[in-house]
Amino acid sequence: MNQQDVFKTLELHVDKGSIVSTSPIDGALLGKVQENTPQDIQQMITKATACFKEWRLIPAPKRGALVRLFGEELRKNKEALGTLVTLENGKILQEGLGEVQEMIDICDYAVGLSRQLYGLTIASERPGHRMMETWHPLGPVGVITPFNFPVAVWAWNFVLAIVCGDPVIWKPSEKTPLTALASANLFERAVKAFGKAPQGLLQLAFGYQEVGEMLVNPPHLPLISATGSTGMGRAVGEGVARRFGRSLLELSGNNGMILAPSADQELAMRAIAFASLGTAGQRCTTLRRLFVHTSIQAQITHRLKHIFANAVVGNPLEAGTLIGPLIDKRSYEDMQKALEVARVQGGVVQGGERVLTDKYPEGYYVRPALVEMQKQTEIVKTETFAPILYVMPYTDFDKALAQHNDVSQGLASCIFTNDVREAEIFLSSRGSDCGIANVNIGPSGAEIGGAFGGEKETGGGRESGSDAWRNYMRRATNTINYSHELPLAQGIRFDVGDA
């Protein structure tokens, strides 16, 4: 689908504004959007608050019906939106389409969920009493999303918030405003088809850091969900905690794999390739650290060198390309700096250089870097958002596990082994300390049905499936007395005599 058709299909009219969207493919101007002022944000919060008062009264399964319509719009427009993701973010078309599929999947999930917002019934210690938990809508939610998954991460939050009864103010990355606008247009179509929805279920807040701060500070939104760097998450987390708000943070990852001698090496190779090279190393779940047993180190490194040297780097719209451009020049520079430091710290670097400069002088395409390290130095412990895979040898499984956990991030992890003991230890309480721990499957490409997120500097939040919906609701514990007595808990007697 060509760019003109994409813009037409998604009703994008984007020729005015101070935020400029350019394509990482070739630096071409895609469009402009207007940055929002502080007054705009205040008005958005007021509008969202009014909207919430109505939306929370709509039964959850009806709210789910709106999400079903949104899912239908996404299905109809998968190609257009997926292509726009590729144009604006630079990930290969297969991944752009995959991202829209992830949105569709979470819509399906949320529709089902809208009939399953269950609370517990709890046994009361008092006769003639009943206890239960009720889950209520929480209020307007601020959602801050990164460039690397410009629409899927938002959708995980948005559609759950909508079925839970919460309007959303969305601050997309300033690098990917058009995909946000297009998604909002599709949602608007769903709202029209739905009929009677209050105004303001989704509002877009375009801008930079100050816009994020406006959402974090009072007058407050009860929940801020933020995905991105640890630095950003720290600011959000601290700001929200200061006013006793709730934050849902999904921050950096520095994901590892232990490749054991018994592993199926064919599977492992494919998993390593997808997890380290996919999305040009710009997933929060990208594989960045590989611990390989010394007995297989030579053959594994040999094969990886071949894969890294030959993986097709190029225009992400072209079939056959596996690695598109980095998002921008800064990202390229950060990658070069990291490789420089890695060399100083004893790393042997293959690849990492810029390519295709003649064809795309404004595009930052790189050959992925394979870095052989003797040990896990400081640079290995730092997340660099680029295709760099550090490979380190190990001999002792327990020591490899300790090294694996010896980083400040805790998002995704995996082990490739056919040794059931190693696999179970890796998943056990003394195993991987990450939010995602896998066996014989890479750390990236998680399905929406599971809770997504991680520990330590990854922020502790869980989005997407499982019980992540509870983030978007408030819990009330209810005790109901249907007896003629008023027994007190804990056996307390409190006799005031005849009143």
Nearest to ligand UN1 of 393, 442 (CB atom)? 442
Q: Please tell me what DSSP assigns to residue 15.
A: B
Shortest distance (Å) from residue 275 CB to ligand UN1:
8
- Encoding tokens for residue 100? 């829209």
Does 445 participate in binding ligand UN1 (rule CB under 6 A)? Answer: yes
- Region near ligand UN1 per CB under 6 A, out of 20-28, 45-53, 146-154, 419-427: 146-154
Q: Interior CA angle at 216 toward 210 and 220, to 5°?
A: 125
CB-nearer residue toward ligand UN1: 71 or 445: 445
Q: Closest CB to ligand UN1 among 148 and 413?
A: 148
Q: Confirm or reject binding of residue 31 to ligand UN1 (CB under 6 A).
A: no
Q: Which residues in 91-154 belong to E strands, given as ranges?
A: 121-122, 129-137, 141-144
The two structure tokens encoding residue 321 = 């390309």
If one asks whether residue 335 binds ligand UN1 (CB under 6 A), the answer comes out as no
* Residue 387 neighbours by CB distance under 10 Å: 28
Note whether 458 binds ligand UN1 by CB under 6 A.
no
Residue 227 in contact with ligand UN1, rule: CB under 6 A: yes
Closest approach, Cβ 304 to ligand UN1, in A, equals 20
Residue range at the interface with ligand UN1 (CB under 6 A); choices 115-123, 208-216, 321-329, 443-451: 443-451
Residues 6+ apart with CB under 8 A from 330: none
- How near is the Cβ of 445 to ligand UN1 at its closest, in Å? 5
Total H helices, total E strands in the chain: 14, 23
Longest Cα–Cα distance in the chain: 94
CA distance 214 to 306: 48
In sequence order, the 6+-apart residues with CB closer than 8 A to the CB of 89 are 24, 96, 147, 148, 150, 175, 176, 179, 327
Residue 460 near residue 249 (C-beta atoms within 8 A): yes
Q: Is 462 in the site for ligand UN1 (CB under 6 A)?
A: no
DSSP conformation class of 457: T
**Cα 196 to chain centroid, rounded:** 31
Of 220, 283, 404, 456, the residue at the interface with ligand UN1 (CB under 6 A) is: 283
What residues are annotated to the active site?
250, 284
By CB under 6 A, name the one of 7, 52, 70, 149 that touches ligand UN1: 149
Interaction mask 100-119, ligand UN1, x per CB under 6 A: --x-----------------
Q: Per CB under 6 A, which region of 65-73, 157-165, 181-189, 441-449 contacts ligand UN1?
A: 441-449
The distance of closest approach from Cβ of residue 148 to ligand UN1 in the complex, given in angstroms and rounded to an integer, is 5
Report if residue 145 touches ligand UN1, rule: CB under 6 A. no
Partners of 256 in the beta sheet? 289, 413
- Piece of 119-127, 262-270, 283-291, 454-462 that binds ligand UN1 (CB under 6 A): 283-291
Q: What does the alpha-carbon distance between residue 237 and residue 240 come to, in Å, rounded to a whole number?
A: 5
Assess 284 for contact with ligand UN1 (CB under 6 A): yes
What Å distances lie between residue 277 and 110, 166, 202, 373, CA to CA?
A: 31, 37, 34, 19
From 265-273, 281-289, 315-323, 357-365, span contacting ligand UN1 (CB under 6 A): 281-289
State which of residues 446, 456, 458, 469 lies at the interface with ligand UN1 (CB under 6 A): 446
Note the residues at the interface with ligand UN1 (CB under 6 A): 102, 148-149, 153, 227, 283-285, 444-446
